[in-house]
Amino acid sequence: MKEVESARVAIRESALDQQAVRRKPILEWDQTERLEVCLQENVPIISFLGGTLAPISSCKEARFKTMVTVASAADAERMATMGVDVIVAQGWKAGGHVLGQVTTMALVPRVVVQWNPIPVVAAGGVADGRVSPPALALGAAGVWVGTSLSCK
């Protein structure tokens, strides 16, 4: 329970600074409790890494925006039918939780073509601004720069 309360404090502190990133990696407890805290604190966008559909349904019912990281066109289909707001297409070059077996640049156009108009964000191997133009040219609405931000 202590971890849940520390997450609540972190969310509230980030709300005081509108420039702060509200994405906090909080992995020490059950997803249900984590989601509950986010919903109670009105976190505007809740991001999921694949997994079960139940939390996504809860967020959609409460009218929260959702984004889900997927590793294949089949995963994207499953999430799109759930009504997610943003699909994060993650290739195998991702630095953290790697799900896929194809590159980001191979995955993005497949997901974009299949699930337009749902915005698709390219993730995995996006270390700096040089990767943004190719990802956008393939139809991505944006890019997710993860590991390089956390390694500075």
Most confident of the ranges 7-16, 66-75, 143-152 = 66-75
C-alpha 112/C-alpha 39 separation (Å) is: 29
Where do the domains of the chain lie? 1-43, 45-150
CATH architecture, domain defined by 45-150:
Alpha-Beta Barrel (3.20)
C-alpha 149/C-alpha 126 separation (Å) is: 10
C-alpha pair distances (Å), 93 with each of 100, 123, 133: 9, 8, 18
* Cβ proximity of 32 and 26 under 8 Å: no
Between 3 and 93, the higher pLDDT residue: 93
Residues 34-73 have pLDDT tens digits of 888 888 988 888 888 876 677 888 888 888 899 999 999 9
* Cβ proximity of 79 and 57 under 8 Å: no
